[in-house]
Structure 1
Amino acid sequence: MRVVICGAGQVGYNIARYLAAEDADITVVDRDPALVEKISDALDVKGVIGFASHPDVLEKAGVANADMLIAVTHADEVNMVACQIAHSIFDVPTKIARIRDQSYLNPMWSDLFSRENMPIDVIISPELEVAEAIERRLNIPGAFDVVPLAEGKISLIGIHCSDDTPIINTPLRQLTELFPKLHVRVVGISREGRGFVPTADDELRAGDDIYVVVDQEHLQRTMEVFGHSEKEARKVIIVGGGNIGFNLARRIEESHPHVHLKLIEVDKKQAERVARALERTVVIHGDALETEILEECNIDNAETIVAVSNDDEVNILSSLLAKRHGCRRATALINTGSYSSIISTLGIDTVVNPRSITVSRILQHVRRGRIRSVHTVADGLGEIIEAEALETSGLVGVPIREVKLPPGVIVGAILRGEEVIIPRGGTVIRAHDLVVIFSSTEAVKKVEKFFAVKLEFF
């Protein structure tokens, strides 16, 4: 696959990193020579310096022979023009663009991105994606990550294990014996900075971050088994009234009428705009790092603070101040990857990384075969893949224990019609089953082959 990526920032770099690891032919375009040099030195990709919206630059990048163009520069307009040129001049089959300004995404202008006007096949809006991801985590307190799968019938849940987790130091094979009716499977473990796919003999330890695939109907019981019985928050404070904070508040107003919501915004004009646009949210103009502002929000009575300003340090410090003043849980938006290793030790419950969310959405449209969705996990631990099994797939018709799955791959769940199946060694996958697989990053390419449409299928 030949892919041209416009933009060598964090998102562009991570997309290139994932695809280069799978032997894709990648060219990255950016006007900043330092970024192009950095990505060319670190990854097996070609770098081109120049404006991604200029036809001669795209031609130099080889877009005429590309299967896909992914435009993730910091400027919406550059991303849009790059897609237009890729279509009109070079006839690139698939064009993906990151669009951040909400004005472009207003439903009343939906025809703008039609094939007749500005042909963009997939639009990614990080702000909307992040707001949706945070809302899912608010719905399931105790989970640091929540990914819906299989039309909402299955979920991937990230759970932190502590000394209070009832099943630590217990071999995973005993979970089935202890809870025979619980439809859940542990598919990934992150321990002391190292991620791995567990075997039946592995045990959970205090400090582990684990990923489990669970039948949606068994979600509440699963959280209790792993030591989390927190109630959904009714009093929430949002720090930051930008696109993410505003969209999150609007989603909570629409879907959770029982939640009492307050929003803190340091910029007066932005606070006024947000206050006019929202209906039930109390908007407070002030600095979330000032104790007086937190006290005005009754922080000691709040259940959750969600810090989503455009400043990582503000998000971290306001979360820590809120917890010190009595707030029970804290969720912080963190863009800087170097902070990730220390966040859990500081006491912040949930970290949201917009970069990984955006990369996951884009990779979903890059994967081949009958793959419906892809989500990156723990910034490199692996990917959760949801795909349809075809008649020609090597997964179909034999017990899973006899399938030669690559190392680092585990079948987490199967959706057959309306039935959710947590597979065992003797489970047989049938044609047209929807299969949820957890794969280490190194094995993703091999997993794709299981779902490729082979010639004999036609």
Structure 2
Amino acid sequence: MKAVVCGAGRVGYGIAKALSREGNAVTVVDWSPELISQITTDLDVRGVVGHGAHPESLERAGVADAELLVAVTHSDETNMIACQVAHSLFKTPMRIARVRAQAYLDPAWRGLFSTGNLPVDVVISPEQEVGRAILQRVETPGAFSTALFAGGRVQLLGIRMHEDSPVAGSSIEQIREIFPDLRLSLCGVNRDGKLFVPTVSDPLLADDEIYIAIEPKMLDRALQILGEKTEKVRRVIVIGAGNIGVYVARALERLGRVKVRLIEANKSRAEAAANQLKRTVVLHGDGLTPELLREAGVDRAELAVCVTNDDKVNLLSAVMAKREGAGRAICLVNEEAFKPLRDALEVDAFIDPRTTTVSTILQHIRRGRITGLQSIAGGLAEALEGVVLATSPLMGKSIDDLELPDNVTIGALVQDGEIFMPGEQAVVKEGDRMLLFAESDAVPKVERLFRVSLDYF
């Protein structure tokens, strides 16, 4: 496939990396010669210095022959016009735009992004995607990462093993013997920065970050066995009243059972948030001030969500909130260099907008073959949900007898609404949904398993 990516920032870089890794011909367009030089040096992609919405730049990038345009510059308007130009002048079949301003996304203007108006096939809102990721963590205490597949029937969790975990040092095989009622699949282990697909006999060590697939109804049981807290979130402190903070607060209001306090340093932004929210108490002040945190009741809060526009403020406010008594802290972090600080600062989870946005974009690009996708550990692996077709080499085989590529494992099989885990009796049928966990190098092979083709890698 030929693809043009407009924007060589963090998200553009991530998209170009994922597409080029899978053998696609990728061209990246950006105004910055420095960013183009860096991305063409790091990746097997072609670069064009120019404006992402200008016909001349897009023509030089080869958009006339491309099947896909992904516009992820820092300007919403540039992204939208790039899609318009690609459609009107070059007939590019698929067009994806990142749109951050919520004014464009108001349901009242739902007809804006259509072929007769602005021909954008898929609109990605990083703020909404990050907000959804945070809400999933609110619903899943004890996990640093979570994603839903198969319409919510299967959940993939990232959980850190602690020294005092009752099953530390045990393999998943031993855990199943001790707890036969525990139905889960161990998909991946991130140990000392190296992610691998484990065997059933590999021991789980302290400080391992493990990825498991389970049914949501088994969540509390699994967390208890793994030594994690399962206390439900009833009080939340949100620091930062930008698009993400307001989105999270509004969604928590809809849950009904959660009391929310929102802290914002900017007075006009705090007033705007207070006007938009119904039951959230909005406090104007600095989220790094212990007195204000105490006034917000941080010592009684199960969770602090730090989502200002400044990574450093988010990191420090997360540390302050936990020091003042918050049960857990989630932190929005854009800068890669800060990622290793999570453990040292004792922050429970980092939210990376780039990873979240890239996962969503890749899912839409692979629509029809892959129906769900989640990037894992900064791109070291992917969890992919696909529909089994009649021509798939997976057809007619027991889930324990599947001949999967190296570094790939099955997370779960959904068949006629029933969930099957590895070790359970089930034969793959046409139309089944299958969750596979693959190290990054094996992702193209996984895609081929779900293609309408008799060719098998």
TM-score normalised to structure 2 length: 0.97
Indicate conservation of the 8 Å contact 2:391/2:454, yes or no.
no
Deviation at 1:404, TM superposition (A): 2.6
CA–CA separation in structure 1 for the residues paired with 2:448 and 2:424: 21
The letter for the 1-side match of 2:333 is I
Deviation at 1:450, TM superposition (A): 0.8
| Deviation by residue 1:161-191 (Cα, 9 ceiling, x = unmatched) | 1012111111222232222222211101111
Indicate conservation of the 8 Å contact 2:154/2:215, yes or no.
yes
The letter for the 1-side match of 2:32 is D
Question: 2:377 matched to which residue of 1?
Answer: 378
Identity of aligned residues (%): 45
User: Could you say if the C-alpha distance between residues 368 and 23 of structure 1 is closer, same or farther in structure 2, counting changes exceeding 3 Å?
Assistant: farther
Question: 2:320 matched to which residue of 1?
Answer: 321
Deviation at 1:403, TM superposition (A): 3.2
Question: 2:389 matched to which residue of 1?
Answer: 390
Deviation at 1:28, TM superposition (A): 0.3
Question: 2:295 matched to which residue of 1?
Answer: 296
Indicate conservation of the 8 Å contact 1:169/1:204, yes or no.
yes
Alignment of 1:193-212 (within 5 A): 193-212=193-212
Deviation at 1:425, TM superposition (A): 7.9
CA–CA separation in structure 1 for the residues paired with 2:193 and 2:341: 11
Question: 1:82 matched to which residue of 2?
Answer: 82
Alignment of 1:124-273 (within 5 A): 124-255=124-255, 257-273=256-272
Indicate conservation of the 8 Å contact 1:369/1:453, yes or no.
no
CA–CA separation in structure 1 for the residues paired with 2:368 and 2:322: 46
User: Could you say if the C-alpha distance between residues 118 and 426 of structure 1 is closer, same or farther in structure 2, counting changes exceeding 3 Å?
Assistant: same
CA–CA separation in structure 2 for the residues paired with 1:305 and 1:258: 16
Deviation at 1:297, TM superposition (A): 1.3
Deviation at 1:229, TM superposition (A): 3.0
Deviation at 1:295, TM superposition (A): 2.3
The letter for the 2-side match of 1:195 is L
Asked if 1:308 is matched to 2:307, the reply is yes
The letter for the 1-side match of 2:2 is R
Q: Which moved more, 1:174-183 or 1:90-99?
A: 174-183
Unaligned runs of 5+ in 2: none
CA–CA separation in structure 2 for the residues paired with 1:304 and 1:216: 21
Deviation at 1:426, TM superposition (A): 6.2
The letter for the 2-side match of 1:374 is L
Indicate conservation of the 8 Å contact 1:6/1:71, yes or no.
yes
Question: 1:451 matched to which residue of 2?
Answer: 450
CA–CA separation in structure 2 for the residues paired with 1:394 and 1:290: 59
The letter for the 1-side match of 2:219 is L
CA–CA separation in structure 1 for the residues paired with 2:442 and 2:429: 22
CA–CA separation in structure 2 for the residues paired with 1:46 and 1:2: 11
The letter for the 2-side match of 1:5 is V
Deviation at 1:192, TM superposition (A): 0.8
The letter for the 1-side match of 2:253 is E
CA–CA separation in structure 1 for the residues paired with 2:193 and 2:121: 37
Unaligned runs of 5+ in 1: none
Deviation at 1:266, TM superposition (A): 0.7
SS of the residue corresponding to residue 113 of structure 1 reads coil
Deviation at 1:18, TM superposition (A): 1.2
Indicate conservation of the 8 Å contact 1:369/1:449, yes or no.
no
The letter for the 2-side match of 1:153 is R
CA–CA separation in structure 1 for the residues paired with 2:12 and 2:61: 15
Deviation at 1:230, TM superposition (A): 2.7
CA–CA separation in structure 2 for the residues paired with 1:88 and 1:14: 27
Deviation at 1:381, TM superposition (A): 2.3
Deviation at 1:302, TM superposition (A): 2.1
Task: Count how many residue pairs are aligned between Structure 1 and Structure 2.
Answer: 455
SS of the residue corresponding to residue 230 of structure 1 reads coil
The letter for the 2-side match of 1:274 is A
CA–CA separation in structure 2 for the residues paired with 1:368 and 1:152: 18
The letter for the 1-side match of 2:198 is P
Question: 2:38 matched to which residue of 1?
Answer: 38
Indicate conservation of the 8 Å contact 1:368/1:448, yes or no.
no
Deviation at 1:399, TM superposition (A): 3.0
CA–CA separation in structure 2 for the residues paired with 1:109 and 1:395: 43
Backbone CA RMSD of aligned residues: 1.4
The letter for the 2-side match of 1:142 is G
Question: 2:29 matched to which residue of 1?
Answer: 29
Alignment of 1:47-58 (within 5 A): 47-58=47-58
Deviation at 1:288, TM superposition (A): 0.8
Question: 1:352 matched to which residue of 2?
Answer: 351
SS of the residue corresponding to residue 323 of structure 1 reads helix
Question: 1:286 matched to which residue of 2?
Answer: 285
The letter for the 2-side match of 1:184 is L
Question: 2:70 matched to which residue of 1?
Answer: 70
Deviation at 1:369, TM superposition (A): 5.2
| Deviation by residue 1:361-401 (Cα, 9 ceiling, x = unmatched) | 00102226521111111112211111111121111112344
CA–CA separation in structure 1 for the residues paired with 2:367 and 2:268: 46
The letter for the 2-side match of 1:217 is K
CA–CA separation in structure 1 for the residues paired with 2:123 and 2:226: 37
Deviation at 1:328, TM superposition (A): 1.5
Superposed structure 1 runs of 4+ greater than 4 Å apart: none
Question: 1:61 matched to which residue of 2?
Answer: 61
Deviation at 1:402, TM superposition (A): 3.9
Indicate conservation of the 8 Å contact 1:236/1:306, yes or no.
yes
CA–CA separation in structure 2 for the residues paired with 1:246 and 1:313: 20
Indicate conservation of the 8 Å contact 1:308/1:332, yes or no.
yes
The letter for the 1-side match of 2:95 is K
Q: Which moved more, 1:365-374 or 1:227-236?
A: 365-374
CA–CA separation in structure 1 for the residues paired with 2:402 and 2:226: 30
User: Could you say if the C-alpha distance between residues 219 and 230 of structure 1 is closer, same or farther in structure 2, counting changes exceeding 3 Å?
Assistant: closer
SS of the residue corresponding to residue 365 of structure 2 reads coil
Question: 2:422 matched to which residue of 1?
Answer: 423
CA–CA separation in structure 2 for the residues paired with 1:156 and 1:403: 21
Q: Which moved more, 1:197-206 or 1:293-302?
A: 293-302
Question: 2:105 matched to which residue of 1?
Answer: 105
CA–CA separation in structure 2 for the residues paired with 1:14 and 1:133: 18
The letter for the 1-side match of 2:371 is R
CA–CA separation in structure 2 for the residues paired with 1:183 and 1:3: 41
| Deviation by residue 1:9-57 (Cα, 9 ceiling, x = unmatched) | 0000011111111111000000111111110111111110111110010
TM-score normalised to structure 1 length: 0.97
Indicate conservation of the 8 Å contact 2:220/2:230, yes or no.
no
CA–CA separation in structure 2 for the residues paired with 1:175 and 1:410: 18
The letter for the 2-side match of 1:411 is I
Deviation at 1:455, TM superposition (A): 6.6
